[in-house]
Chains A and B, each alone.
Chain A
């Protein structure tokens, strides 16, 4: 059943409508509810295919579902429609204004409507796709604050990596933080790259979501064997930023294992035809982030490697 979560009038003959698809079966008062949300950033599209595939499977085999799955494919519909990362006509990142306000501006009211709609759910999966610059392997990101509670659920999602990151005050205004502080266990998934859909990753995550539903006692249909992710607390993570400006040409496949000293890529100057910078792996490990967009400034992130061990 399609429901409107938030509605606001736009200036000329149109409403902004944030919708969800509620798929339910045997949904008694004590049943469990899982929310799958995506599209906070309008240039992140991987979640579109996840939502579509999940809805198709659940609708087709509704008899195997016990409880409620709410699918929110577009928290920022104007952004998705206009290839805009942010909320059009609003200067702040939508994922920096949660929990919003019932009396604020349109984006803040929408954020508040979304929070109130999800509140009370047992679990929320918030799907992101990096941005247009970086490609990521499927991973769950959780803060140090929430790691102990969320790690057992993160490993259900069939991702390759669980990254436990330091808490930062500025992240207190994300959807995930707002929901976690309200008792909704929320996992942030990052995978793929902005403005594209990586079908294999989407299928991998859908298998993980079905596995999670199964583990929560909500799904009796077929499930695939899920992979065991690496967990960042057991390994070192290296960031490789460019110190030069130019065009980045990768020379190693994303998601592959690299050895210390391997060339990850190079930065070249097309005007002069010269090599500006070589990017070498500082340690052996998994190349889990790789730059997708070729133009780089000093500081542009080129790659991230999770080392084979804590100390390299």
Chain B
């Protein structure tokens, strides 16, 4: 394993922020895995850390295929992480909205440029991503449906062995993300979502680590004994049913992520925050699986509290 600083930035009164890449194997730049770009992506960093620990053992056992190399970048924003902020400490900008970056630009543009320069030429790119909504997901992997996406990118969604593979039509604000720009540069890019962001789930961490290792095995980058994972159902993201609140108040959930529900099943109630009575009941609009569950106690009107993947799209 080689450990290299791939980008560094200094602050007035803090130690320098070094973005460290851990490389296994030699030769072709086969796969790069990027963890936390935001300060609250703790699970994403922890997945990378466990991945590095496992890859050390794999390398010691001769499991890295000759001529292939893997780089893992567990954290590209410890300045934010160490002070409990999601975005950049100074100006609250998001590194994952700055790609491909600009070397002469603002600070987070420079960080994105410095990072991207080191990772853009990998054959496969995996970002351990987090979503802008707070809640719990079923683990899944996602690709952007850009013009640059090749058939192989799409077909490889199933190689992670996660229960769902999503295809997303990018919005304008997606065009400055790492995933999108990786694809523009010709990399097969995936965003891997585990259950949590600022909480480390032991089982979900292991699920994500296994998903990456499984992908590396199937792509012929490592040799390692691993079960094949789950059958992956590929879903167009826009076909997922968003279930929104029509009232505001305290959220009382009756189902959890992963539950299978039938049309008409009670998903949650909204409780009056001052008087305690039920002011709203939300039922499932379809037969399906609860894919996302909002995890705040208070909800506004029009909050997405559940996403449900229908059993069928009829």
Contact = CB atoms under 8 A, between A and B. Distances in A.
Interface of A: 8-13, 16, 85-86, 89-93, 96-97, 103-106, 109, 131, 133, 169-173, 239, 241, 245-247, 269-271, 295, 297-301
Contact of B302 (A92, A109, A271): A109
B302 A106 contact: yes
A93 B93 CA distance: 10
Interface residues of B, number: 39
B302 A104 contact: yes
B104 interface: yes
B176 A246 contact: no
A247 B175 contact: no
Contacts of A86: 92
B81 to A, nearest CB: 17
Interface stretch (B115-123, B227-235, B241-249): B241-249
A165 B105 CA distance: 16
A89 B301 CA distance: 13
A299 B172 CA distance: 25
A295 B89 CA distance: 12
A170 B300 contact: no
B12 A11 contact: no
Interface in B88-109: 90-92, 97, 104-109
Contacts of B250: 11
Given A12-B274, A299-B110, A97 B173 contact: yes
Contacts of B248: 8-12
Interface string B273-309: 1100000000000000000000000111111100000
A103 B302 CA distance: 8
B106 A300 contact: yes
- Sorted nearest first, the 7 A-B pairs with minimum C-beta distance are A91-B132, A11-B298, A9-B248, A299-B107, A9-B301, A173-B172, A172-B172
B9 interface: yes
B46 to A, nearest CB: 21
B300 A245 contact: no
A39 B172 CA distance: 22
Contacts of B274: 12-13
B107 A297 contact: yes
A298 B302 contact: no
A103 B242 contact: yes
Given A8-B301, A169-B175, A247-B12, A299 B109 contact: yes
Interface of B: 9-13, 86, 90-92, 97, 104-110, 132-133, 171-173, 175-176, 242, 244, 247-250, 273-274, 298-304
Contacts of A109: 302
A8 B9 contact: no
A92 to B, nearest CB: 6
Given A8-B301, A106-B300, A96 B173 contact: yes
B273 A13 contact: yes
Interface centre among A91, A92, A104, A301 (most CB of B within 10 A): A91
A73 B199 CA distance: 39
B298 A170 contact: no
Nearest to B93: A93
B245 to A, nearest CB: 9
A201 to B, nearest CB: 22
Contact of B300 (A9, A93, A270, A301): A9
A173 B11 CA distance: 33
A170 B176 contact: yes
A97 B303 CA distance: 16
Contacts of B86: 91
B301 A299 contact: no
B103 to A, nearest CB: 9
A133 B108 CA distance: 15
Nearest to B107: A299
Contact of A10 (B109, B132, B300): B300
Contacts of A172: 172
A105 B108 CA distance: 28
A301 B302 contact: no
Nearest to A14: B248
Contacts of B91: 131, 133
B273 A11 contact: yes
Contact of A105 (B110, B173, B176, B303): B303
Nearest to B132: A91
Contact of A170 (B106, B175, B301, B303): B175
15 contacts: A8-B248, A9-B300, A11-B298, A13-B274, A93-B173, A97-B173, A109-B302, A170-B176, A245-B10, A297-B9, A298-B9, A298-B10, A299-B107, A300-B90, A301-B106
Contacts of B9: 297-299
Given A11-B248, A97-B173, A300-B106, A295 B10 contact: no
Contacts of B107: 297-300
A135 B105 CA distance: 18
B12 A269 contact: yes
